[in-house]
A and B are shown apart, each in its own frame.
Chain A
Amino acid sequence: MALDTPRSQVAHLLRRAGFGASEAELDQYTALGFAAVVERLLNPEQVDDSVSDGLIAPLALDVTAADARRKIENVKFWWLNRMLYTQRPLQEKMVLFWHNHFATANSKVANAVLMQQQMQLFRDMGLGSFETLLQKVTRDPAMLIWLDNRQNRKGAPNENYAREVMELFTLGIGNYTEQDIKEAARAFTGHTLDRNLTYVFNANQHDNNDKTFQGQTGNFDADDILAILVRHPAAARFLTTKLFSFFVYENPDPATIDRLANTFTSTNFDIRSVLRDIFSGPEFLSPRAFHGQIKSPVDLVVGSLKSLNVQNVGPDATAALRRMGQDLLNPPDVSGWKGGAAWINASTLFERFNWGNRLATGRDASKPYFADVPAQIQSRGITTADGLVDFYLGTLVDGDATAEARQALLDYLNGSGGSLALDDGAALDMKARGLVHLALATPAYQLA
């Protein structure tokens, strides 16, 4: 059952390296073959995305709205639609990965344009050199506001960026001292913003004295510190563990990380090469990987919209994400979303299930979240209750349901002692939509 057909392997790849796939998308990608899909995902610049650009264009990303709250909600909504429609899903998934890694929140930045600019940085640079990305992030206006480096001046440095760049962005806790933080903070002085919130290096505020950092002494500037950090052995393990955990499963074996860390170092910190290693490695299609992660709210929301061919997403989809625990552009703190088991609690489970109910009962083509369940059934030529259950268990949970769960759904369709008449429009409208809701509420649907 698990990842034993080309189609299920490609579906798994698109769940992890993208945001899921509709049946039609899955047809197209499967025809390419797994290896070709990996290369297509890794090389987004070779994929024409104009159709998706055209679909998103009418959303008129209005960041000039007078209402600051509206502005940031517009940016979130535009991004959610981009995730839904793009033909470059890995590029967009990496925007989400880096957003979670360099977790910056608009709650403090309070500037939708700068948040959008930071996401665009991740879109443009997210598959390239990690060292270059780190240099750009260090100069990114939203980051300079978020971790206060714009106010980091010589004489009385501000430690905020220096600490988090080591603890969360490169090395992980335990690989630096409090003194390293103080010295690095001095090296980051003077990297600030001008009045227009554009990055500027203010030499007058930069500390030009020697710093002793990680056992080396010199008149280090920001990029010198970053160069030491990315070459630290802990960085290769920290970064590749985080990437692997995001795309495959948590707590990878040390041997896996040995391999990926070597790729990271030997390719001059090339993220694309590490990802290729992850997607083509033996772990990726292993039984442990199949449904071995909890879907993030973004994965659940965008994936369900794709699976049910929901065409008009409501602007409140971003609020649903927030209630599920993933408020885009507002991660809870600089460590990002905890993910994994932390996605699951009583409140977030209800939000997930109730989102499913909302899509499953989207009957009105003139309103947001229209899900044409009858058309989907018809197009697949389904004529029996068994066929109905098997189709939705296939498309929604890759058939990952026990015989008892399948029987429970079949009993639901047929009612007590009867059998569902698929030619009875009202009965089908009630039961088929109810089935979709229940399938979206199964344990397996919560897994990626």
Chain B
Amino acid sequence: MAITRRSLIGRGALLVTSGFLAPSFITRTALALEGSQPGFTDGGGVVIDPTKKNRILVVLQLSGGNDGINTLVPFADPGYATVRPTLGLPANEVLKLTDQVGLHPNLTHFKALYDQGKLAVIQGVGYPNPNRSHFRSMDIWHSAYPETFERSGWLGRYVSACQCAQDNALPAISVGDQLNTMFWTDTTLVPAVASIGAFSFLTDTQYKNDRTWQLQTLHNIYTQAGNWSQYESLIRRGTLNALAGSDELQKVAAAYQTPVSYPANNGLANQFKLVAQVIAGNLGTRLFSVSMGGFDTHANEKVTHDRLMTQLDEAVDAFLQDLANINKQDDVVIMSFSEFGRRVRQNGSAGTDHGTAEPMFIIGNKVTGGIYGSYPSLGDLDNNGDLKFTADFRSVYAGVLQDQVGATAAPILGGNFDPLKVIA
């Protein structure tokens, strides 16, 4: 194990409390505790590429299983109309990328990004022996371990390996009130942030001077050493982690008010707005997850999917405008995924059941736009009536890790996957 500042700090030394509580003291304590957890490894051979230190990755999760066939439409395939008699999108409405495939009609900003060479579309992404359970398949995409049950998430393993939590309370942020499992590890905590305004320990407004005492007391309680249970340890680390990030985020909130008008009633747009706010604050946060749900369209799919495509398109567009406004457009890449695509043939309720392979989108100024891989055949399906995948999602992760995150992928993904090169 490499000698790091962390490994030199014994737990006990931190327990001497100072008389005056400065926020930075909480921060340092929390960061040091991160490294002192049992089970921490130094990353097992992950090499960090310093030239990527300004690069930022935003992972966009589409929850519920997005209908990839009606997102990236194989309009020229005569089989398409057969399997989608009422759900099929007319060829003249599809936003054509090639003479074979086109985007859902509501993805107009995605089409413009494609025309500008800033949108990469990876076709037919999946993994061997596809699982059609939402929960198991989402776990597989989060852990990047399809064959075994692995608790940790792929980006969590990166945050652990890079030791970036050592000097920064916010190396990554999971946007929303639940921590995205892709960030989970047993040793390093990534904060979930639902709202910057609420990300603060409030105290009695009638006695403002008592706040220092309350924070001091909280600190004394939470930094005490002990043989804590797994849950109590989680609560202790989570609290110190939260306190450490809180002051920084409060400053960020005051520093930048976006002039971009994000679309209303669009949860994804609100999440992107938070991400841009944090990026504008230059806190060194390099990884974010955002998500939108509602893609589990078993019945009456058209009206729902049309609306979701519009929300997705408008949210991404607003975010990119915001990035341009703060001059970060060259640093940020967005990568989208869903736990699976949907059944090729529509069901009897004008919807689609759970399927397999799906397209992924990678967006950014440094992205080499275009269509990657091959579209799975609608005529050569597996014995469940689903697409046979043509690209392994771990190759996509490997490329993003190498070219945007700046880390050797194999130790993080638990194997060598040919990195798909889409980012310059």
- A residues lining the B interface (CB < 8 Å): 107, 147-148, 151-153, 155-160, 163, 167, 173, 178, 291-294, 322-325, 332-335, 338, 340-342, 344-351, 353-354, 357, 360-361, 363, 402, 404-405, 408-409, 411-412, 415, 430-431, 433-434, 437-438, 441-444, 446-447
Contact of B224 among A148, A155, A404, A431 (CB under 8 A): A404
Residues A160 and B229 in contact in the complex (CB < 8 Å), given A347-B198, A349-B235, A405-B221: no
Given A346-B199, A350-B201, check contact A412 B214 (CB 8 Å). Answer: yes
B349 contacts A158, C-beta separation under 8 Å: yes
A354 closest partner in B (C-beta) = B202
Give CA–CA (A332, B61) in the complex, Å: 14
Evaluate contact between B299 and A323: CB separation under 8 angstroms: no
Given A173-B136, A446-B235, also A158-B299 (CB < 8 A): yes
Cα distance, A214 to B64, chains bound together (Å)? 27
Asked if B134 and A335 make an inter-chain contact with CB atoms under 8 angstroms apart, the answer reads: yes
B interface secondary structure, majority:
loop
CB-nearest residue of chain A to B204: A361
A-B CB proximity, top 10 nearest = A156-B348, A151-B349, A346-B191, A346-B242, A345-B192, A408-B220, A412-B217, A160-B298, A148-B299, A345-B179
Residue of B nearest to A405 (CB): B221
User: B193–A430 contact, CB under 8 A?
Assistant: no
Cβ B213 vs Cβ A412 within 8 A: yes
- Known contacts A347-B177, A357-B203; 17 additional CB pairs below 8 A are A148-B349, A153-B349, A178-B384, A291-B232, A323-B177, A346-B189, A346-B241, A350-B199, A350-B246, A361-B205, A404-B224, A412-B214, A430-B207, A438-B218, A443-B232, A443-B235, A444-B232
CB < 8 Å neighbour of B298 from A158, A293, A357: A158
Beta-carbon contact of A163 and B132 below 8 Å: yes
| Minimal beta-carbon separation of B136 from chain A (angstroms) | 6
B222, B242, B246 interface centre (most CB from chain A within 10 Å): B242
A-B contact pairs, 10 of them (CB 8 A): A156-B348, A158-B348, A332-B293, A333-B63, A333-B134, A344-B238, A348-B177, A357-B203, A433-B204, A446-B235
The one of A344, A360, A444, A446 in contact with B204, judged by C-beta atoms closer than 8 angstroms, is A360
Q: Does B115 contact A (CB under 8 A)?
A: no
Indicate whether B52 reaches chain A with its CB closer than 8 angstroms.
no
B224 touches A354 (CB 8 A): no
Closest beta carbon of chain A to B419's beta carbon, Å: 31
A348 contacts which chain B residues (CB < 8 A)?
Answer: 177, 192
B204 touches A357 (CB 8 A): yes
A346 and B221 contact, Cβ closer than 8 Å, known pairs A323-B198, A351-B198, A434-B204:
no
Complex: chain B residue closest to A167, CB-CB: B133
Q: Which residues of B contact A347 (CB under 8 A)?
A: 177, 191-195, 198-199, 242
* 0/1 interface trace, chain B 48-70, chain A, CB 8 Å (1 if under): 00000000000000011000000
**Cβ-defined contact, A332 with B238, below 8 A:** no
Q: Inside 8 A of B354's CB, which chain A residues have their CB?
A: 159, 163
Residue contact B177 to A152, C-beta cutoff 8 Å: no
Complex CA gap A326/B110 in Å reads 34
Considering only residues 103-159 of chain B, those with a C-beta below 8 Å from chain A are 132-136
- Number of A-B residue pairs at CB separation under 8 A: 191
Which residues of A sit under 8 angstroms from B163, Cβ to Cβ? none
* A353 and B238 alpha carbons, distance in the complex (Å): 12
Tell whether, in the assembled complex, residue A402 and residue B224 are in contact, meaning their CB atoms are under 8 Å apart: yes
Nearest A residue (CB) for B236: A443
Given contacts A345-B179, A441-B218, A444-B232, contact A158 B351 (CB under 8 A): yes
Closest partner residue, chain A, to B249 (CB atom): A346
List residues of chain B with CB within 8 A of the CB of A415.
213
What is the distance, in angstroms, from B388's C-beta to the closest C-beta of chain A? 15
Residue numbers in A under 8 Å from B192 (CB-CB): 345-348
> How far, in Å, is B153 (CB) from chain A's closest CB?
13
Residue B265 CB within 8 A of the other chain: no
Partner of A346, one of B206, B231, B245, B296: B245
- A333 to chain B minimum Cβ distance, whole angstroms, is 7
Determine if B234 is an interface residue (Cβ-Cβ < 8 Å). Answer: yes
Chain A min CB distance to B143 (Å): 15
Contact indicator per residue, chain B 175-216, by CB within 8 Å of chain A (1) or not (0): 001110000000001011111001111111111001001101
Q: Is B310 an interface residue (CB 8 A)?
A: no
A402 pairs with B226, CB closer than 8 A: yes
A361 to B203 CA separation, bound complex (whole angstroms): 9
CB distance from A169 to the nearest CB of B (A): 13
Q: Which residue of B lies closest to A412 (CB)?
A: B217
Chain B residues with CB under 8 Å of A332's CB are 178, 293
Q: Cβ of A345 and Cβ of B178 under 8 Å apart? A: yes
Q: For the complex, what is the distance from the CA of A438 to the CA of B214, rounded to whole Å? A: 7
Closest Cβ neighbor of A334 among chain B residues: B134
Q: Which residues of A contact B241 (CB under 8 A)?
A: 346
Which B residues are in CB contact (< 8 Å) with A341?
231, 234
Contact assessment for A409 and B349 in the assembled complex, using a CB-CB cutoff below 8 Å: no
Check A344 against B235 for contact (C-beta < 8 Å).
yes
* Residues on A with beta carbons closer than 8 Å to the beta carbon of B229: 291-292
Select one of B63, B189, B217, B348 contacting A157, CB under 8 A.
B348
Alpha-carbon distance A153/B210, docked complex (angstroms):
65
Give A213 Cβ to nearest chain B Cβ, in Å.
16
Shortest B177–chain A CB gap in Å is: 5
By the criterion CB–CB under 8 Å, are A325 and B178 in contact? yes
Give the residues in chain B near A442, CB-CB below 8 Å: 221
CB < 8 Å neighbour of A156 from B136, B202, B214, B347: B347
Determine if B242 and A294 form an interchain contact, defined as CB atoms under 8 angstroms apart: no
